[in-house]
Structure 1
Amino acid sequence: MSPILWVATQLGRFLGDGYREIRSLVTSNTPNILKKGFTGGMAALALALLTVVVIASQLHPVVVILAVACVLVIAYGRSLFRRLALFAGYFLCGFVLFIAAGLLTTVPLEKSYPLLAKAVAVALFVILCLVIPALLSMRPRQEIVVGRGNWSSNDRPLKTPAFTFADIGGFDEAKKQVRELVNANLNGKKFSQYGVSRNGILLHGPQGTGKTFLAEAVAGEFKLNYCCVSASGLHHKYVGETERHIETLFQQAIESSPAVLFIDEIDALGAKRQQLGDGDDTGGAARGYNSATTRLMGCIDDARKHPGLILIAATNFYDGLDAALIREGRFDLHVRLDLPNEAERTRILEAQLAKRPSRHFDLQPFAKRTPGWSAAKISTLVDRAAFFAAEERRKIEEHDLTRALTETGGKERAAFKAVDWTEVVLSPDA
């Protein structure tokens, strides 16, 4: 890759929101190995430094200094200016511009240097003049991620969740089905010869049943990067921006493979599309929503072709989703997570307490006293009991869980508080 192409890409990074489109346009016909180096990695940086030093060393010593400074400012200027104080940033800008101005007034005017030296000096000066103002006026790029997760459009390093299926109590059948699909996707060569291609997991059910927790556990179970985004956070008020956010999301997830891409509340983008006739939707909102849903389906189709990227979505409103979005071929596995029964509540309590310092005691009575509780509410119950034990620096005991259940609510908790007669009858003197 030529240094000019690399420098041009780094300049595009400072332009803000248009960087993704620039990179996509420039690298659309390049091999995948060059695309990875094109994002400004150490290999590209070393190549750029080596090239400019070799060229500049044949011209003038000051050109070497200026060339190296130019490459470093382009590569690390964004993080540098984010950390330095404003005064230090302006001082650095002034220092670099001072060198550039001195070079511009000396090298091009010396007749002993060839025309190439003059051209390089002027080009470096122009590049610096473009980079410095961009650094000073740069603004943080808009993040896509909303809600839980370790990933956004700012290229943050991904993390693999620490917990696995063993940390989830219950849902044995759901975990079995999910494991089969993920294995089929990650072992694509094994299953492709039989024509098997499976991807797309849609988790649905009431609120608090553990859909988000299960999606995160999939990444931890198979040691995959975890990309989490709320579909409502992809919406944008400007026409076409929602579709661009969707495309950026899937493109970065593909680049982060092997990974789990989890779209929470997918109903915010995947609800049933509206049928519009002539003269309908004068404001264009419905057409914009339909366009975003169509773009989402197209990105899902493209992402399914990339082995190592597991698509997972969750919704509380399964019946309201567009039938074309959730059909087989986009989401091959539909898993309903219901409220846990008594046996599953016992296993959830066991899994929650296993991660914390606790004494062994019978959990079945607590499972009986929590009918209709979701996995999230049971987790909150254990958190409350753990808080009581942490205050006294000891292990969680049975009475901690009993106290938490009494305060949080349960089957045996009285629906009404007993009130004394004297509290509701006014005295004669009142």
Structure 2
Amino acid sequence: MPSHVKAYRAAILHSLADPAEVGIEQSYQYFADGVLVVDNGRIVEVGPADELLPRLKGVEVSEYRDALITPGFIDTHIHYPQTGMIASYGEQLLDWLNTYTFPTEQQFADKAHAADVAGIFLKELLRNGTTTALVFGSVHKQSVDAFFEAAEKLDLRMIAGKVLMDRNAPDYLTDTPESGYADSKELIERWHGKGRLHYAVTPRFAPTSTPEQLTLAGQLFAEYPDLYMHTHLSENRAEIEWVKALFPERKGYLDVYDHHGLIGPRAVFAHGVHLCDDECQRLAETGSAIAFCPTSNLFLGSGLFDLEKLERHGVRVGLGTDVGAGTSFSQLQSLNEAYKVMQLQGKKLDPFKSLYLATLGGARALYLDHQIGNFATGKDADFVVLDYHATPLIAYRMQQAKSLTEKLFALTILGDDRVVKETFAAGRSVHRRN
């Protein structure tokens, strides 16, 4: 075998499909003693060790004991400028923006500051096993340059965009419809499709953009192939009432975006806590996606996300941490809270559905499931090694576990960054726990 081929041995688990569509048993593939074969940053093969190892003569095999290899986690909604204000006390959404978010984002006019935070942010993602994220910058184009420069050095598959805001925000954070369009276009030309990077047109949310700005954002979204659109939708009831007052001619919050051409494949709406059936149906028929952000929805008191309702309509759903309203970079912690959100509604979240949301479901929401999300041959070798002995309590719990389901569930309830032993992006180790 060529010298650049490498193999990784441990228990291996990945999603094959959505459990809601094919059933739990058909939704995943598991090898209690497996091998993952990687060549030039891509998956070559995955399978049982006793079958693959005899064919891997001369190949370096990295072996992980008491560990589980899964695809890298995918975060479908997060704000990198808010890294420094995570865990800020005591407000709901609209007051929280004015009290904490806007003053923090003002600092990103300084590119050196943005670069420092981008480095911290990416290290936190990788420390938590997240290899792809859909990321808000600030209103400053230099914040996006700083983020993409840091992500490019690590060869990460990342999506980001400059925030668009031309009203209902401090003067120091507003642009204009024309400047927002021009700055975004410049960033798209510089970064979209460069390496593993993608650009997202990013109006913060409908209340902070005039109809003129939303029109130009929709125009931009249509101008380039495979561009993303990233914004917020129906997170908080007070926010929804504000949108009704600002756009009385529209029949609902989603209709504001729809009217301005900001809907369709690769359009990702964060939260969607308070959606009616017609809005769910419209999201599904246009191929748009929702990012389920359990830690921030609970932290800000926004409400309980109805995953089953979105599933019934066939809406694409990914998992988002929403840092800094979200309280952890860890998708394991997000799944911990997601389980509780479902319990509070008298519903269940199966561990294999959790795995799907954090990996292949996120990839599908981002229209990247042909490149990431599981271990199909030819996909990017983005994966994470999870340590069954990360803490004394987790190690003890694993001794009691009688099935893979129990082990997987225990990881999502007890796990955090300490569980992540090593993270790989495009076949290269980008984080190794000390």
TM-score (norm 1): 0.27
**As a proportion of its length, which structure holds more strand?**
2
Bigger relative contact order (CA 8 A; separation at least 6) = 2
More helix by share: 1
